[in-house]
Amino acid sequence: MYYASIDAIEAPLHENHMNQFKHIIFTRQAAIARITLNRPDAANGLDSLMARELKQAARLCDGDPQLKVVILTAHGRFFSAGGDLKEMLSHGDEIGAAAQALADDFHAAIATLSRMQAVLLIAVNGVAAGGGFSLALIGDLVLAAESASFTMAYTRAGLCPDGASSYFLPRLVGLRKAQELMLTNPLLDAREAAELGLVTRVVADQELAAETERLAGEFVSGARLSAAYARKLLLASPGNDLDAQMALEGQLLAQCAASPDGREGIQAFVDKRKPDFE
């Protein structure tokens, strides 16, 4: 199982930010931030506090111009079993309002993580169900341990999907397969998830931590603006027609070329040497 280098020596963004979280662990080391879901005794269920903390951590990442990659993973046997249904029930007649508030915070976190400039690298260490399934979809690269499994599970509990899964899932697997996954809730193992395109790569459990760190290191040595604009283009593509998308490509390409990293990358290519990005 992967524990997100929790025992590694890491420097937090700010000590007070690290101490304010209860249901996640948030640290930073150089250009890498780590968000670790940390309710292992509750299957890393997404309760109202975790949703708020994810929103806060996402905003800290988005507001840090030095970050190049954010690693999102979980502590324990589960990645996340999804929404904390026991907490929802505790709200009695106010369950609808409580579910809306939780979804609002969860969605704010997803929107920020999807639009920030840093690359989002997700390491799925175990079961990803419901909101955990949805959260796993939003990464730029998603690594899954061989023991990981995936299921939507929403309709089984009388709920409908959230966490932007109705946006990302059909774009990853197509409408027909998305309908099957949402309505029949099959349990997918890591290999099946990879074959469908839900994850980038399956890694042996004992190698997940090392492979995640290796990939993060690649992004750290790369050009921050280049990766950020690639993310922006992919996110914009579904809503743009051809001309609008090409116009955005030209605009962002020009900004990359004129940036210090762009100039360095072009010069290094001409000089046939490895670029030294900021």
Is 1 a domain residue?
Answer: no
Q: Could you tell me the two tokens for 61?
A: 């990442």
- Is the domain of 158 the same as that of 183? yes
Are 265 and 133 found together in one domain? no
Report the pLDDT value the prediction gives residue 71, as an integer from 0 to 100: 98
pLDDT given for residue 12 in this prediction? 39
Res 129 pLDDT > 70: yes
Q: How far apart are the first and last CA of the chain?
A: 33
d(CA 264, CA 131): 41
CATH number at residue 82: 3.90.226.10
Residues whose CB falls within 8 Å of the CB of residue 141, separated by 6 or more in sequence, listed in order: 119, 121, 122, 200, 201, 215
Helix-strand-coil split of the chain, %, nearest 5: 55, 15, 30
pLDDT of 278 higher than 90 = no
The total number of structural domains that make up the chain = 2
Return the closest-CA partner of residue 48 out of 1, 117, 109, 115.
Answer: 109
* Mean pLDDT of all residues belonging to the chain: 91
Q: What is the pLDDT of residues 139-197, one digit of tens each?
A: 999 999 999 999 999 999 999 999 999 999 999 999 999 999 999 999 999 999 999 99
pLDDT of residue 13: 42
Which of 13-22, 77-86, 101-110, 187-196 has the lowest average pLDDT?
Answer: 13-22
**Residue 195 identity:** E
